[in-house]
C-alpha cells in the first residue's frame, strides 16, 4: 500500500480511543494513559508553537528573544510500559480478496500497527516494532515521540511478506528485548502454530499479550463457485476442487480451528479480536480496548 497507512475517517475515530493495560493498572496504579507532562524536572522532548490556553511559564523566553515568536517547551515522563507491535510478515500475509486485490493482510497489519503507534504517541508512551518473516526479524526498539513514529512508518513501508515463520533461533531477540510487563500486540493470520506458541510463551513470562487475527473476506464467506484452484502461499501446495461442494466442510473446519486457537489464547489471558479485510480498520482496536460503539463498525 502507499500513502498514509491510516484512512482519514479512521484517524478521526482514533481520538476516542485510549490504549489500556490490565497489568499496568495493578502494578503502577495507571494504565497506558497519557503520560506526556509539562514543567520542570522532566526530560525535554520538543518545542511547539504557542497555543491559546498554554501557561505563560511554559514559554521559552530566550527562544522568543532570538526568533520573535512564542514557543512552548514540552517535556515528557517516561511511560511505565513499552508497546511492542509484532507484525507477521510471512508469505500468507500477502493474501488478498478478489474484490480488493490491492489490500492484503499485511497492508491491514501495517495500518493497525500505525494506528496503535499513533495512540501511543498521543499518550506519550513508548512503542517499537518487530517484523517476523522467514529470513529473520526486523526490529525497531521502543522509543517515544514524533521521530519514533516516523521511523516506525518507514519500517512498515519497507516491510514485505515472504517465507515462513522465523525459526526458534531467529526468535531469540523476542525473549531478550521484550521486558517484563511490556504490552505486546501480535498482528497476523493467527493460525501458525509457532506464532500461537510465541504468544503463549510471552504471556506465561508476564508479558501482556493482545492478538488481532487478520482474515480475508473469502476465508470468512468461502464464496467460490465451480472449479477453483486453492494454493497455500507458504508451501506452494495446490488443491483443485469445486467451491460449492467444499464450502460447508471448509467453513465448519475453519470455525473449529478458530475456536481452538481462541481457547488457547483465553487460557493464557490473552485478549484477542478478529479483523476481516472488508471491515473498518479500527474495529479490532475498539474491541480490544473496550469501546462501546464497536458494533457500529462490524
Residue by residue, DSSP assigns 171-237 as THHHHHHS-TT-EEEEEE-S--HHHHHHHHHHHHTT-EEEEEEEE-HHHHH----SEEEEE-TTT--
Residues 153 and 277 in one domain: yes
Within a domain: 1: no
Q: Cβ distance 261 to 196 under 8 Å? A: yes
Residues 53 and 199 in one domain: no
Domain residues for 42?
Answer: 36-76
Residues 70 and 212 in one domain: no
Residues 59 and 186 in one domain: no
Residues 46 and 85 in one domain: no
Number of independent structural domains in the chain: 2
Within a domain: 157: yes
Q: How far apart are CA 84 and CA 138, in angstroms?
A: 12
Distances (CA, A) of 67 to 52, 60, 62, 63, 172: 19, 11, 9, 6, 50
**Window from 17-21, 141-145, 239-243 with minimum mean pLDDT:** 239-243
Residues 209 and 292 in one domain: yes
Within a domain: 71: yes
Q: Which of 168, 229, 224, 231 is nearest to 201 (CA)?
A: 168
Number of Cβ within 10 Å of residue 186's Cβ equals: 26
Within a domain: 232: yes
Most confident of 30-34, 247-251, 258-262: 258-262
Residues 66 and 192 in one domain: no
Residue where a domain terminates, one of 48, 76, 104: 76
Q: What's the pLDDT score for residue 116?
A: 97
Domain CATH code at residue 245: 3.40.50.410
Residues 131 and 206 in one domain: yes
Q: What is the pLDDT of residues 100-124, one digit of tens each?
A: 999 999 999 999 999 999 999 988 8
Residues 72 and 88 in one domain: no
Q: Distance from first CA to last CA of the chain, Å, rounded?
A: 23
Residue 228 CA, distance from chain mean position:
33
Residues 149 and 252 in one domain: yes
Q: What is the pLDDT of residues 181-201, one digit of tens each?
A: 789 999 999 999 999 999 999
> When comparing pLDDT for 67 and 176, which is higher?
176
Residues 69 and 149 in one domain: no
Residues 61 and 146 in one domain: no
Q: Cβ distance 115 to 285 under 8 Å? A: yes
Q: Radius of gyration (Cα) for the chain, nearest Å?
A: 21
Q: Could you tell me whether strands 136-143 and 71-76 are parallel, antiparallel, or unpaired per DSSP bridges?
A: unpaired
Amino acid at each position: 500500500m502507499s500513502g498514509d497507512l491510516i484512512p482519514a475517517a479512521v484517524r478521526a475515530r482514533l481520538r476516542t480511543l485510549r490504549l489500556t493495560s490490565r497489568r499496568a493498572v495493578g502494578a503502577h496504579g495507571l494504565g497506558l494513559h497519557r503520560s506526556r507532562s509539562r514543567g520542570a524536572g522532566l526530560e525535554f522532548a520538543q518545542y511547539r508553537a504557542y497555543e491559546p490556553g498554554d501557561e505563560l511559564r511554559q514559554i521559552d523566553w530566550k527562544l522568543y528573544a532570538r526568533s520573535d515568536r512564542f514557543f512552548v517547551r514540552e517535556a515528557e515522563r517516561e511511560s511505565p510500559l513499552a508497546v511492542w507491535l509484532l507484525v507477521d510478515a510471512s508469505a500468507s500475509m500477502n493474501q488478498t480478496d478478489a474484490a480488493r486485490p490491492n489490500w492484503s493482510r499485511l497492508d491491514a497489519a501495517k495500518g493497525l500497527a500505525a494506528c496503535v503507534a499513533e495512540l501511543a504517541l498521543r499518550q506519550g508512551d513508548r512503542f517499537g516494532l518487530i517484523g517476523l518473516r522467514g529470513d529473520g526479524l526486523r526490529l525497531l526498539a521502543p522509543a517515544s515521540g514524533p521521530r519514533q513514529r516516523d521511523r516506525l512508518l518507514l519500517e512498515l513501508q519497507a516491510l514485505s511478506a515472504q517465507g515462513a515463520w522465523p525459526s526458534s533461533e531467529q526468535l531469540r531477540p523476542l525473549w531478550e528485548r521484550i521486558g517484563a510487563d511490556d504490552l505486546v500486540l501480535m498482528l497476523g493470520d493467527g493460525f501458525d502454530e509457532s506464532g500461537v506458541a510465541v504468544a503463549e510463551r510471552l504471556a506465561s513470562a508476564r508479558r501482556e499479550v493482545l492478538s488481532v487475527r487478520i482474515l480475508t473476506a473469502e476465508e470468512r464467506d468461502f464464496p467460490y463457485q465451480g472449479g477453483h484452484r486453492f494454493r497455500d502461499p507458504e508451501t506452494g501446495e495446490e488443491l483443485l476442487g469445486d467451491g460449492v461442494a467444499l464450502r460447508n466442510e471448509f467453513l465448519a473446519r475453519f470455525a473449529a480451528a478458530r475456536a481452538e486457537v481462541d481457547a488457547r489464547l483465553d487460557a493464557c489471558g490473552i485478549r484477542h479480536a478478529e479483523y476481516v479485510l472488508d471491515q473498518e480498520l479500527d474495529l479490532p482496536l475498539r474491541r480490544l480496548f473496550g469501546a462501546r460503539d464497536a458494533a457500529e463498525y462490524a
